[in-house]
Amino acid sequence: DAGVVRVITTGASQPLDVGRETRVVSAAQRRALAVRDGGCVGCHAPGGWCEAHHVRHWLDGGPTDLDNLLLACAGCHRDIHDRGWEPVRGPDSHWSLHPPDPAHPPHDARPPHPPPGQPRLPNPALPNSARPERDRRQPPVTPFRPVDPLALALT
Residue at 138 is within a domain: no
**Domain for residue 131, yes or no?**
no
Residue 20 counted as domain residue:
yes
Q: Is the pLDDT of residue 18 over 70?
A: no
Instruction: Answer yes or no: is 60 within a domain.
Output: yes
pTM above 0.75, yes or no: no
Q: How far apart are CA 59 and CA 16, in angstroms?
A: 20
Residue 68: strand, helix, or coil:
helix
- What is the band of 155 on the pLDDT scale with cuts at 50, 70, 90? very low
Q: Residue 71: which of 107, 100, 110, 31 has the closest Cα?
A: 31
pLDDT tens digits, 28-74: 899 999 999 999 999 999 998 999 999 999 889 999 999 999 999 99
Q: Per residue in 65-107, pLDDT tens?
A: 999 999 999 999 999 999 999 999 999 989 999 998 767 554 4
Residue 145 lies inside a defined structural domain of this protein? no
Q: What is the DSSP letter of 137?
A: T
Distances (CA, A) of 134 to 63, 118, 131, 139: 31, 17, 9, 9
Range of the domain at 39: 8-109
Residues with Cβ within 8 Å of residue 56, at least 6 apart in sequence:
62, 63, 68
Q: Is the pLDDT of residue 128 over 70?
A: no
Number of domains in the chain: 1
Q: How far apart are CA 17 and CA 5, in angstroms?
A: 10
pLDDT of residue 58: 85
* Calpha distance 26→32 (Å, rounded): 10
98 in any annotated domain: yes
